[in-house]
Amino acid sequence: MAASTSSSSPGVAERRGIPAASFVDDVETYLKQSGLDVNSSLAFLQERLQQYKIVEMKLLAQQRDLQAKIPDIEKCLDIVATLQAKKGTGEALITDFEVSEGIYSRARIEDTDSVCLWLGANVMLEYSCEEAKALLQKNLENAKASLEVLVADLQFLRDQVTITQVTVARVYNWDVHQRKSRQAAKET
Amino acid sequence: MQQGEGAEAQVTWEDQQNINKFGRLNNRFHELEDEIKVAKEANESLEDASNELILSDEDVVRFQIGEVFAHMPREEVESRLEKMKEDASKELERLEEEKESVLAQMAELKKILYGKFKDSINLEED
């Protein structure tokens, strides 16, 4: 189920503002091409990792918000559906609701054709039950779609982090290897 | 991931993709563990609610919808609860299945990666 977007070649340069980590085929060639010595290269890669971390924090926060928003919208849809179901019967819907923390009161909701939806920014609008259902449904679909895109972004980001971490390890190992061979050459 | 001592094996793009996939699967595995915990609690709560309903002998039950408690006839609450329990149990099953699949894929990747890199790579949970 985990959407594995493994490209056949390192193609994508960036995704929605997140720079892609370039895959290093050969450490020696990479260092020559970038003109950096081992320490500068490692410093650059570490800085990249920090930047990725910051973006990850931001995306995770957005994900948490969306994940909280979706059940809220579903609850609203449930209420609207319940009101619509009651409409035909002629009975009123009696509910207990929270007036203040720990204090509840009883409300009698008569047969109604409309509901008020809180749109945010201190604005509340009256809608017919049908319109409200449609609006809530659309909001729910948008939220779910945004969440999907966000999850894909996070996966891309984590891949770039992994690639960068592996590159760090390889550059470091190559350096250790080089030092060992130079040491061995000196001693012979 | 551990830094191996002078790793001999070269890392190809395919290896990198495998490592990436393993990382993604591992993340998903942890997410699933949390989701399964929440789903199990939800299932238990619904069971408790169901039991409470059987024990009580009220005709009108206060059923929570959103932030309010709607007064509903007992039969309607019973059928709603049944549906919710069914959905919750299906959800739990789906999550458990996904977890099994993720673990299996991770085991496969471990075989491949350890096969090529042996000690130079560490894929265990620290």
Task: Render pLDDT for A134-171 as a digit per residue (tens, 0 to 9).
Answer: 999 999 999 999 999 999 999 999 999 999 999 999 99
Interface of A with B in 61-80 (CB under 8 A): 75-76, 78-79
Q: What is the ipTM of this complex?
A: 0.82
Give B-chain residues touching A169 at CB under 8 angstroms: 1, 3-4, 7
Whether the pLDDT of residue A2 is over 80: the answer is no
The strand pair at A114-120 and A123-128 is best described as: antiparallel
> What is the tens place of the pLDDT at every residue in A25-55?
888 889 988 888 899 999 999 999 999 999 9
Give the three-class secondary structure for B10.
coil
- Of B82, B17, B71, B21, the closest CA to residue B49 belongs to B82
Q: Does A98 touch chain B (CB under 8 A)?
A: yes
Measured distance CA(A106)–CA(A96) in Å, rounded: 4
- Of B97, B100, B92, the closest CA to residue B36 belongs to B92
Pick out chain B residues at pLDDT < 70: 1-8, 126
Q: Which residues pair with B69 in a beta bridge?
A: A96, B64
Sign of the alpha-carbon dihedral angle for A44, A46, A49, A50: negative
- Of B106, B98, B108, the closest CA to residue B124 belongs to B106
Measured distance CA(A82)–CA(B43) in Å, rounded: 23
Task: Quickly state the pLDDT bin for A113 (edges 50, 70, 90).
Answer: confident
Mean pLDDT in residue range A93-119: 91
**CA of A118 to nearest chain B CA: how many angstroms apart?**
14
Give B-chain residues touching A95 at CB under 8 angstroms: 68-71
Mean pLDDT in residue range A117-141: 94
- The residues near A105 (Cβ < 8 Å, ≥ 6 apart) are A96, A97, A99
pTM metric for this prediction: 0.83
